């Protein structure tokens, strides 16, 4: 508890640097990572992250000390070479992108481990703290580092604001971008460069092993909650920053605990919560939607079966009561499921129960006629506009009739020249 009070009261001046670092680093990666996610280039972020290690080691060897500008420059060049290598392999060979990413990622990372081992054995690596770049150590962020990552954040934010529309067009439809005269390749190059820059800025806090999570996870999580890009950008940045602060606190409160894994744990928490409760795309929403659709299909099938029974019997009055046996003679319902459906239809006012028999209400007659009409309109469409065999039109219509909208119904009537309920039933 005391550690938490010290953390939020900024008793340790280094906590301010850590929080500012998390704010700048996590916001940068979340913002530009959203566009990488939309361009379906999330795995490239993983390749870039693992490919930064040799650049960091070479930057250290060039500077002779842990100088962030040197390390960032080396990481940026190394990261860019990795993306170039992936694109080159994909364009010049038959190797698929995922395989190319695996090849480049493992090769660059192995080279980085070799260089890191060399530096450590040379007697300077152990004291330089370069091993922190593997799993991240937010506590190692200094005041000078804040200026560097802060400038990178402002550069990325400014570029997104200035080229927002161009980024959107290239991310969603690069062919359309070319058709309207946008320099699609140049914009893609620019976005990839910003992605490499954001990843390079975050390796000290998150580590090369896990920094890719900051590119992919916040955008994927935010996408579950909204379709609007501006909201996705804001939401992704908030999730990422909160996770970064959480990971930094755990690292602060537990000496020697790396920051990167805990940031990813917090991000994973947000992902799993979103998978369960996100409106529209969450498991709970999908379950409710499935239940609702199954109930709708059952209700419409029962109403249709009642209409067909009267039609088969030559009854002109659709509100005559029928028994359970009559209903089962038309369609092979599961009896228990059908009884539940009948109870709900009574509750909704489409059916009345009269002496253990079931009778359509005025609303039920209208609804049963509508379902039968949609079923037969689609059968007619399949027969007249496709090559489908007559024996298969019924099953096709059974699947589609429940999702035909009033607009499609009018279009079918116009297309087929049919008004009212077709008499043919296949």
Q: What is the DSSP string of 317-379?
A: -TT--B-HHHHHHHS---HHHHHHHHHHHHHTTSEEEETTEEEE-HHHHHHHHHHHHHHHHHH
Cα separation, 3 vs 10, in Å, equals 11
Burial class (CB in 10 A: 0-12, 13-18, 19+), 394: middle
- pLDDT tier at 127 (50, 70, 90 boundaries)? low
Q: Give me the pLDDT at residue 218, please.
A: 94
Do 171 and 39 touch, CB atoms closer than 8 A?
yes
Q: pTM of the predicted model, to two decimals?
A: 0.78
Look at 203-217, 262-276, 365-379 and tell me which has the smallest mean pLDDT: 203-217
Average pLDDT, stretch 156-174?
91
Tokens of 24: 């700048």
Cα–Cα dist 426/423, whole Å: 10
pLDDT recorded at residue 124: 60
Q: Does residue 88 have a pLDDT over 80?
A: yes
Q: How far apart are CA 34 and CA 235, in angstroms?
A: 10
Strand partners, 353: 358
Q: Which long-range contacts (CB under 8 A, 24 or more apart) does 297-302 make?
A: 297/402, 298/337, 298/338, 298/340, 298/341, 299/341, 299/344, 299/345, 299/348, 299/350, 300/367, 300/371, 300/401, 300/402, 301/331, 301/333, 302/327, 302/333, 302/338, 302/341, 302/342, 302/345
Instruction: Give the tens place of pLDDT for each residue, 181-221.
Output: 888 888 988 898 898 888 888 887 777 777 888 888 999 99
Task: Select from 109, 85, 107 the least CA-distant residue to 95.
Answer: 85
Residue-wise pLDDT tens digits, 322-352: 999 999 998 989 999 999 999 999 999 999 9
Q: Tell me what pLDDT residue 317 has.
A: 82
What lies within 8 Å, CB to CB, of 22 at 6+ separation is 138, 205, 241, 244, 245, 247, 248
Proportion of the chain above pLDDT 90, given as a percent = 37
Average pLDDT for 45-64 = 84
Name which of 204, 141, 174 is nearest 38 in CA terms: 174
Considering all CA atoms of the chain, what is the largest pairwise distance in Å, rounded to the nearest integer?
Answer: 98
């Amino acid at each position: 508890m005391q550690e938490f009070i010290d953390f939020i009261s900024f008793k340790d001046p280094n906590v301010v640097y850590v929080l500012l670092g998390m704010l700048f680093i996590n916001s940068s990666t979340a913002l530009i990572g959203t566009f990488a996610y939309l361009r379906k280039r999330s795995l490239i972020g993983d390749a870039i992250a693992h490919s930064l290690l040799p650049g960091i080691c070479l930057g250290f060897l060039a500077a002779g000390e842990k100088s962030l500008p040197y390390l960032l420059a080396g990481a940026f060049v190394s990261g860019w070479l990795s993306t170039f290598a992936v694109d080159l392999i994909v364009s010049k060979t038959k190797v698929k992108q995922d395989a190319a990413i695996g090849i480049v990622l493992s090769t660059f990372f192995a080279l980085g481990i070799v260089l890191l081992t060399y530096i450590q054995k040379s007697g300077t690596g152990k004291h330089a703290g370069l091993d922190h770049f593997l799993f991240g150590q937010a506590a190692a962020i200094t005041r000078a580092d804040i200026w560097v990552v802060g400038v990178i954040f402002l550069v990325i934010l400014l570029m997104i604001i200035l080229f927002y529309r161009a980024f959107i067009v290239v991310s969603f439809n690069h062919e359309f971008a070319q058709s309207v005269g946008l320099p699609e390749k140049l914009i893609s190059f620019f976005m990839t460069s910003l992605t490499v820059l954001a990843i390079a800025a975050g390796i000290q806090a998150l580590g090369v092993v896990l920094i890719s999570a900051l590119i992919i996870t916040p955008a994927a999580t935010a996408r579950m909650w909204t379709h609007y890009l501006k909201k996705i950008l804001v939401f992704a940045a908030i999730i990422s920053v909160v996770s970064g602060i959480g990971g930094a606190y755990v690292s602060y409160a537990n000496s020697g605990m790396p920051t990167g894994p805990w940031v990813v744990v917090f991000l994973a928490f947000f992902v799993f919560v979103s998978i369960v409760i996100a409106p529209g795309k969450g498991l709970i929403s999908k379950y409710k939607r499935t239940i609702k659709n199954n109930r709708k299909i059952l209700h419409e099938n029962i109403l249709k079966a009642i209409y067909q029974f009267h039609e088969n019997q030559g009854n002109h009055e659709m509100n005559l009561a029928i028994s359970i046996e009559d209903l089962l003679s038309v369609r092979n319902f599961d009896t228990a499921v059908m009884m539940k459906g009948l109870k709900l239809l009574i509750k909704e006012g489409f059916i009345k129960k009269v002496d253990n028999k079931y009778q359509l209400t005025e609303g039920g007659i209208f609804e049963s006629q509508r379902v039968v009409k949609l079923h037969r309109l689609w059968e007619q469409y399949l027969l007249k506009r496709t090559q489908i065999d007559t024996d298969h039109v019924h099953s096709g219509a059974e699947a589609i009739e429940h999702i035909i909208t009033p607009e499609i119904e009018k279009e079918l009537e116009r297309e087929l020249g049919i008004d009212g309920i077709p008499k043919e039933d296949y």
